[in-house]
């Protein structure tokens, strides 16, 4: 999928106007830990989650990278799940927590960074909720224990304890103070809030609200196996409640592990958002066509293409390691595919044609180009904190370069589908408009255009943009 945050860009967790020089220059010297944690302690998972948050907010890692970095194979499945859930919650609440930290401490930031994220994680967990994850006293107690067990946090244990208890003593007051800042209202960077509201004055608040919600779990039923309704009926027999929300799309009433989904391991069903499921059918594939899936990882759309027709498909991605996920997806659905179909993969940049294209043109191209990922923030809450205001403009230049290259690989009368998981105009309508203005042989066809998320997170699709072009044959 497109929309991967850039890696290795430091300082992502600071407010947009805060300079490095504003932060405390000296950190307390590490102190011997006062407590040794067991894996079963909540404090153990809290500390690992705070470390993952630090890697995201202060070192520019994606959340997935940060979790991989801080979770080794020695941790149990339960701990890994708890840490992921806590870190995701902490990032999702970071906009509020960051404002609260500044109010409660009267400092622009805390040093070391792990102290700031540990306190922020606690404040995020204590922010008023209809369904709090843990009792408030448990959060305070376990975070203090986490500090006592970490050498770089021992000196800050008292500060964490004091701030959390101060917040609990008069939560309504502190929440009211924080909500004067738009960053706390939406728990998103202030520049991100402004941009969404400027570009979407009508839907803006719904988009911002949706970004803070947990995403639904939507399945794509393999059309070679059966219909969406047939699968819903089958799930009912297994006491799993679901409903049909698209041609092959099924919404689970309660998310679950794929391990318990009937037919998942056999390739009969895949996890894919309802908006993402719109892409492959728009190409109107026919048996025998030569098709390119550019920027293919992680492979959800790749599998969908193969389910729709017996094609000769090339999956292209700049990351060889990410192509492994594409291969896994295709391998899982392969037993369901009958007929004469072919599949190959290449690791290369889409715009570097000399590295991957053999000169044989394609009948159809799926161009799922890199973007900010602004439409999938609820699935990847780290995205707004890893982005900068000028990223859309910078990525737009890359998108144009990729589209120009891919257009040259398309047969006359062939179809190119542009897809981005973004709600920003530069990566949607403006990108498509500039493309048609540059390429006189591009005929824009009917496509959904912008798919807006809605405030009803239980059924809302992710944010996407679709534009479809036919290459006019030369007369």
- Is the Cβ–Cβ distance between 349 and 355 less than 8 Å? yes
- Is the Cβ–Cβ distance between 57 and 117 less than 8 Å? yes
Residue from 172, 142, 137, 143 nearest 159 by CA: 143
- 163 carries an active-site annotation: no
Q: What is each CA distance from 355 to 74, 269, 358, 363, in whole angstroms? A: 40, 34, 9, 20
Write down the number of H helices and E strands in the chain: 17, 11
| Per-residue tokens: 447 | 């496509």
Q: Residue 117 and residue 400: Cα distance in Å, rounded? A: 38
Residue from 460, 410, 402 nearest 427 by CA: 402
CB count in 10 Å sphere of residue 286: 13
- The residues that bridge with 83 in the sheet, in sequence order, are none
Point out the catalytic residue in the list 147, 163, 295, 421: 421
Cα dihedral angle (398, 416, 461, 379), rounded to 10 degrees? -40
| Per-residue tokens: 306 | 């193969």
What b/e sequence results for 353-377 when a residue is b if at least 16 CB atoms lie within 10 Å of its CB, and e otherwise? eeebbeeeebbbbbbbbbbbbbbbb
**DSSP assignment of 10-26, as one string?**
--TTS-TT--GGGS-S-
388 CA to centre of own chain: 16
Residues 6+ apart with CB under 8 A from 174: 100, 103, 104, 166, 167
Three-class SS state of 77: helix
Q: Which residues are catalytic?
A: 421
């Amino acid at each position: 999928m497109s929309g991967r945050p850039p890696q290795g860009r430091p300082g992502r967790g600071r407010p947009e106007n805060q300079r490095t020089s504003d932060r405390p220059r000296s950190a307390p010297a590490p102190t011997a830990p006062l407590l040794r944690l067991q894996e079963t302690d909540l404090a153990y998972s809290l500390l690992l989650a705070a470390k993952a948050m630090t890697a995201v907010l202060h070192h520019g890692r994606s959340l997935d990278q940060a979790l991989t970095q801080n979770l080794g194979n020695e941790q149990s499945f339960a701990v890994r799940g708890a840490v992921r859930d806590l870190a995701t919650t902490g990032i999702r609440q970071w906009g509020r927590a960051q404002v609260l930290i500044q109010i409660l401490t009267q400092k622009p930031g805390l040093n070391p960074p792990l102290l700031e994220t540990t306190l922020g994680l606690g404040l995020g967990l204590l922010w008023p909720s209809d369904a709090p994850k843990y009792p408030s006293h448990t959060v305070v107690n376990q975070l203090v224990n986490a500090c006592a067990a970490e050498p770089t946090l021992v000196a800050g244990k008292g500060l964490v304890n004091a701030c959390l208890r101060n917040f609990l003593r008069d939560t309504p007051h502190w929440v009211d103070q924080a909500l004067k800042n738009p960053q706390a209202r939406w728990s998103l960077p202030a520049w991100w809030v402004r941009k969404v509201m400027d570009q979407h004055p009508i839907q803006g608040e719904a988009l911002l609200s949706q970004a803070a919600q947990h995403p639904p779990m939507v399945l794509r039923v393999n059309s070679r196996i059966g219909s969406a309704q047939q699968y819903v009926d089958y799930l009912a027999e297994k006491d799993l409640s679901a409903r049909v929300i698209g041609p092959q799309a099924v919404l689970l009433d309660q998310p679950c592990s794929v391990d318990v989904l009937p037919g998942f391991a056999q390739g009969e069903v895949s996890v894919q958002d309802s908006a993402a499921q719109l892409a492959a059918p728009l190409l109107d594939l026919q048996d025998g066509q030569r098709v390119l899936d550019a920027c293919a990882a992680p492979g959800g759309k790749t599998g969908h293409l193969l389910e729709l027709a017996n094609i000769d498909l090339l999956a292209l991605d700049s990351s060889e390691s990410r192509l492994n996920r594409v291969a896994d997806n295709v391998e899982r659905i392969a037993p369901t595919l009958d007929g004469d179909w072919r599949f190959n993969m290449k690791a290369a940049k889409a715009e570097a044609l000399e590295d991957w294209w053999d000169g044989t043109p394609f009948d159809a191209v799926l161009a799922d180009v890199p973007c900010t990922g602004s439409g999938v923030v609820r699935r990847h809450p780290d995205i707004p904190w890893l982005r900068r205001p000028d990223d859309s403009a910078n990525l737009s230049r890359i998108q144009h370069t990729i589209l120009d290259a891919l257009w040259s690989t398309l047969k006359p009368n062939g179809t190119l589908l542009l897809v981005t998981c973004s709600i920003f105009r530069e990566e949607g309508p403006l990108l498509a408009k500039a493309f048609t203005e540059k390429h006189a042989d591009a005929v824009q066809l009917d496509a959904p255009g912008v798919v807006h998320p809605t405030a009803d997170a239980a059924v809302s699709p992710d944010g996407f943009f679709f534009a479809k072009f036919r290459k006019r044959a030369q007369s």
